[in-house]
Structure 1
Amino acid sequence: MMTHFINYINWAPSEIAFQIGSFGFRWYSLCWLIGLVLAFLIVRRLYKEQKIKDELFDPLLIYCFLGIIIGARLGHCFFYEPDVYLSSWDRFLEVFLPMKHTAEGWKFTGYEGLASHGGTLGLMLGLYLYYRRTHLNLWIVFDNIAIATPLTACFIRLGNLMNSEIIGKVTDVPWAFVFENAGRGLSDAPRHPGQLYEAICYFVFFFIGWYLYRKRPEKVGTGFFFGLCLTLIFTARFFIEFTKIDQVDFESGMLLNMGQLLSLPFIVIGIACMTGGKWLKRLGAK
């Protein structure tokens, strides 16, 4: 315990949520699972309320799950560390395998490194493929998923908090965290809990979207909720990035970091959808 930071929150949780024999289930994985299950339950309820056939809902989870995971992994590797993962065949294989090549051989590590912007793109592509299979109006699909998405994003960021990753800059605010497990010399000072800022924002955004849906359910299928989700999440992400340290070395000296640059197109698309961007909505024509 770092007693000289007694006035701040000393954060040193175990990465393992529970143990089954020799297998340890990590908090990060558990938070992902909770977020996906909650989204599954919420969207199933929305489909039932909108009288969408059960057989149209059944394949949705697999398209969402694969889209998010594949997109998030590719996004991290090629947006943030292309120099690492394109440096050799072993590193390139690590993009797709939940393993790392060490001096002792291949070691199972799970996927270490997932990017939310890539996950969003992957989810959008997955939903488009789902639409091509089911022929359900694309904007109905996008809007329903968007209502549930902030809650999933909230739990993913809580997983980052449990992992002591994506941490903030040094600060003296009374709610600062001392990330004792952060390593790389990052546990030496109280810092902004950027993951917690995002988790709180996304939790609030979920209830905003849910309230608006209960008030105006007829707007499902217009692209409004999809646009609202993109605009709120990535606007919050843009500003919260100012409290975070750089994730990779090449961001040093940049006016806006990679997370902010990648957020801007999503904000523009979100505003266009909310304000009736017909040029986008032609994609969802039956």
Structure 2
Amino acid sequence: MLSLTLSLIDGFIYWNVSPVMFRIPGTSVLLSWYGLMWALGLVISRQVGLYIFLKEDRYTVNLPNLFLMIVIPAIVGARLGHFLFYDLHVLIRDPLVIIRPPFHGLSSHGGVLGILIGVYIWCRRNHAEYLFVIDRLALVAISAGACIRFGNLMNSEIVGVPTDVPWAFIFARVDQLPRHPAQLYECIFYTVFFLSMLYMWYMYARDWRSGVMLGMILTVLWTFRFVVESFKENQSAFESDLSLNMGQILSIPYILTGVALILLRKSITEIKT
């Protein structure tokens, strides 16, 4: 049964959505919004990625294996990254927590690292150009990010800091304070950014040097992440003692890598001979 309470209180949006979408009758099996959005993100990114590689007619032979080399490293990296970056003391005290359900706590920074490593292994095995492949996968990964952040919104997690802006949400499952809907900010941005980059790929990317699109995505996406982190509550107590929170610190290497890729590749178009 879907449980949703959405109304206005003192001019703010009162958000009291159950994380459980529904329970299968006669069983204890629950379908969560978060799980559904993760699955939807994977399906969308897989289908868009398949379309892109088939359209360009490159590296189409082992595409199913490439999908596996994205999904598994992404989940492992996201899970491990959460504990390394935010809850290292928990991992040290109980290493098995990383494989013990429920699997709450996933770091997008760790997930990206997992994808980069997994795709590198696939490219080595299939003699594929790494930057070309990762260019296209970086594009489709944005759509998965949009779905996951919507799942975070439905879970009332990764909430923003208190505010009095008219579009503030009161996350009833957290407290009664009006807060920035930081998850929604990210979901909307990722959706618009994904569609924009898909258009850029369709119109121009086949004339770009490999790595330029990845550089653009890293620079724009993680700059936005750096900014939006200032609207979020810290995920761990130790972040209160830092000048920048952990999300901002982890975003900086991605931004610098993106800028470096654009500068190193220099010309946007291939030199025609």
Scaled by the length of structure 1, the TM-score of the pair is 0.86
1:2–1:76 CA distance, 2 compared to 1 (3 A) = same
How far apart are residue 59 of structure 1 and its match?
A: 0.5
Structure 1: how far apart are the matches of 2:119 and 2:154? Answer: 29
**1:247 paired residue among 224, 235, 257:** 235
**8 Å Cα contact 1:139-1:220 kept in structure 2:** no
**2:155 paired residue among 150, 156, 163:** 163
Does residue 202 in structure 1 map to residue 204 in structure 2?
A: no
Residue segments in structure 1 that go unaligned for 5+ positions in a row: 100-108, 279-286
- Indicate the SS of the match to 2:264: coil
Query: 2:260: which partner in 1?
Result: 272
Does residue 177 in structure 1 map to residue 169 in structure 2?
A: yes
Query: 1:18: which partner in 2?
Result: 22
**1:128 paired residue among 92, 115, 120:** 120
How far apart are residue 135 of structure 1 and its match?
A: 1.2
Structure 2: how far apart are the matches of 1:2 and 1:158? Answer: 16
Structure 2: how far apart are the matches of 1:53 and 1:266? Answer: 26
How far apart are residue 5 of structure 1 and its match?
A: 3.1
Query: 2:135: which partner in 1?
Result: 143
Does residue 85 in structure 1 map to residue 91 in structure 2?
A: yes
Structure 1: how far apart are the matches of 2:216 and 2:51? Answer: 20
Scaled by the length of structure 2, the TM-score of the pair is 0.90
How far apart are residue 3 of structure 1 and its match?
A: 8.7
1:220–1:23 CA distance, 2 compared to 1 (3 A) = farther
**8 Å Cα contact 1:251-1:258 kept in structure 2:** yes
Query: 2:58: which partner in 1?
Result: 52
Runs of at least 4 residues of structure 1 off by over 4 A? 1-4
**2:146 paired residue among 134, 147, 154:** 154
Residue segments in structure 2 that go unaligned for 5+ positions in a row: 267-273
Structure 2: how far apart are the matches of 1:76 and 1:123? Answer: 15
**8 Å Cα contact 1:144-1:220 kept in structure 2:** no
| Aligned length, in residue pairs | 260
Residue correspondence of structure 1 range 70-109 to structure 2 within 5 A: 70-87=76-93, 91-95=94-98, 97-99=99-101, 109=102
Query: 2:269: which partner in 1?
Result: none
Aligned residue identity for 1:11 = W
RMSD: 1.8
Structure 2: how far apart are the matches of 1:260 and 1:273? Answer: 20
